[in-house]
Structure 1
């Protein structure tokens, strides 16, 4: 199995430097030149190497900020929301937030500042778990919170992933995913009405058959554009006794989302060169066309662009069954209608 763990960057605490007699002031002085010794300040008294920070992805940066926060608090920190999602390996569509999200408790007077959004939520002990070095809300509770508070498309991407049989946490450990009915039952029983309608919509729409955040985004856009709902990962028989599984299938067309990960990330490439993957994709598309349907292909850029995705699907013969929820605004940008 491919190791998909994502580790935070190594950090240095000035308090640790002082304990062993080192001069911590050198960390706070701007370096004369850039290079391996340059540091990036995460928060007061916490630093990481600047060149590693510059090349890190957003999720790694978020986890590193969490290390900085946890290491400068006297009490244990329970991470919630997007920060818990980072630990559980749940995807986020859009930018990861600059501030980490942590649990303050319902009666605490602590205020959000210094890179921490403190949430005054009531979370039962049985909804808090230890995952590696982290204390986080459970998969189910994290998904429910994201469904309440995140934009619909990002919530759907996290739910599509978290509703699978298993999820792989940032430390590489494998855990059981949540179940849709469990989330829906929890929302119905919760007396807190804030965000409930939004959460119900996202959870009801979620489908663990979506295999990537790009497919989740595409499905949301397809729905908003008024196209017929597709089948996901349907089974299409091959002449050699095997089967192909297109990302989307309609009455007259198949749909394929082409994300960069398919050609670059180890968990997808399995050691194969990109040229081999491209060739296999072409052969797969040829096999699908033999079933008498068109094949529509699109990328992240297409999925983010409603009129472009609409044109691609219409050209492939996908049927629009209702009025689109998108419309151009005064600046010509397509927006979701209220």
Structure 2
């Protein structure tokens, strides 16, 4: 097995042979009594999403930074999102994000200074204790605070994908613990109460647009692009019953068209459960599409590559009979940068 090494400031190196184990390390710490009680969500269904390599790399960098600091380091923003298991659609921020304040370590010495310059984006703001939570060994901003921070600071596409996931009845943290999801109205109230207007309008728009019925980060991206392209908002995960009593749940539905987002993960062997291989999954998807067409509607299918390409996605939808209802409009932050130290 290939060994991956993370180096920061020329001296700190962590051998991450098992940092696919980065997701299991918090559980080991919890078993050693270092975690606070968790809020369980009973038997609520947790929706999985395919982990990206960048997320694992970000967790590795967090481990490297945490290894050089004391236990009171507080992770915020995308770093907190990584611990909460929230998806980040688009580019991750270029550095680990941590809180610089009373709860964080005073940076002294050459190594700490180099870490601050090269590995950590320090956020200079006050976070009350009620907005902090111990998740496994990680001290992070609460789920609500993390989502509202992303809504303010992240590109709109990124914020919506995280919110779609965070608004579900339950979310699963990095180490597999299950927590209650966020409440939309509480998030809106939080943003309205927060001091400072920077990012408030965008945050309110993202929270209002978010939909827990969105089944995956790729579907979240697709919804944002569909909206920006001027198409009507589709129904999500509608129930389509067949004569034999079975039912399908297409990702999107318009008056004359079903829409299906195809993520590549479900065709990989690791994602194919129940003994089904990729060829079986493709065959099942084709049969599902045939069943949907029997209801007299066209079926539009697209991939990640299509969803990131607005003209291509527009062509796919229009070929399937979906028509825009308003002019297309793309905001400047469609593929924008993260707001640093907001």
Query: Which category of TM-score, normalised to the shorter sequence, fits these structures?
Result: 0.7 to 0.9
1:283 maps to which residue? 287
Among residues 86, 95, 98, which one is paired with 1:99 in the alignment?
95
Among residues 46, 56, 62, which one is paired with 2:58 in the alignment?
62
Change (3 A) 1:293 1:70: same
> Distance between the aligned counterparts of 2:61 and 2:231, measured in 1?
41
Shift of 1:298: 0.4
Change (3 A) 1:265 1:125: farther
> Distance between the aligned counterparts of 2:166 and 2:269, measured in 1?
20
Shift of 1:38: 8.0
Q: Which has the larger radius of gyration?
A: 1
| Higher mean C-alpha displacement, 245-254 vs 187-196 | 187-196
Unaligned runs of 5+ in 2: 21-51, 108-112, 337-342
Q: Which 4+ stretches in 1 moved above 4 angstroms?
A: 35-40, 50-54, 106-112, 265-268
| Higher mean C-alpha displacement, 59-68 vs 245-254 | 59-68
Report if the CA contact (8 A) 2:155-2:335 is conserved.
no
Shift of 1:81: 0.3
2:146 maps to which residue? 142
2:300 maps to which residue? 296
Change (3 A) 1:259 1:75: closer
- Number of aligned residue pairs: give it: 296
Q: Is 1:224 aligned to 2:193, yes or no?
A: no
> Distance between the aligned counterparts of 2:320 and 2:291, measured in 1?
16
Looking at both structures, which has the greater relative contact order when contacts are Cα pairs under 8 Å and sequence separation is at least 6? Answer: 2
Shift of 1:214: 0.5
Change (3 A) 1:40 1:180: closer
> Distance between the aligned counterparts of 1:148 and 1:91, measured in 2?
16
| Higher mean C-alpha displacement, 247-256 vs 318-327 | 318-327
> Distance between the aligned counterparts of 1:71 and 1:218, measured in 2?
38
Shift of 1:37: 7.2
Change (3 A) 1:304 1:68: same
> Distance between the aligned counterparts of 1:78 and 1:288, measured in 2?
48
TM-score normalised by the chain length of structure 1 = 0.81
Change (3 A) 1:78 1:271: farther
Shift of 1:205: 0.4
TM-score normalised by the chain length of structure 2 = 0.80
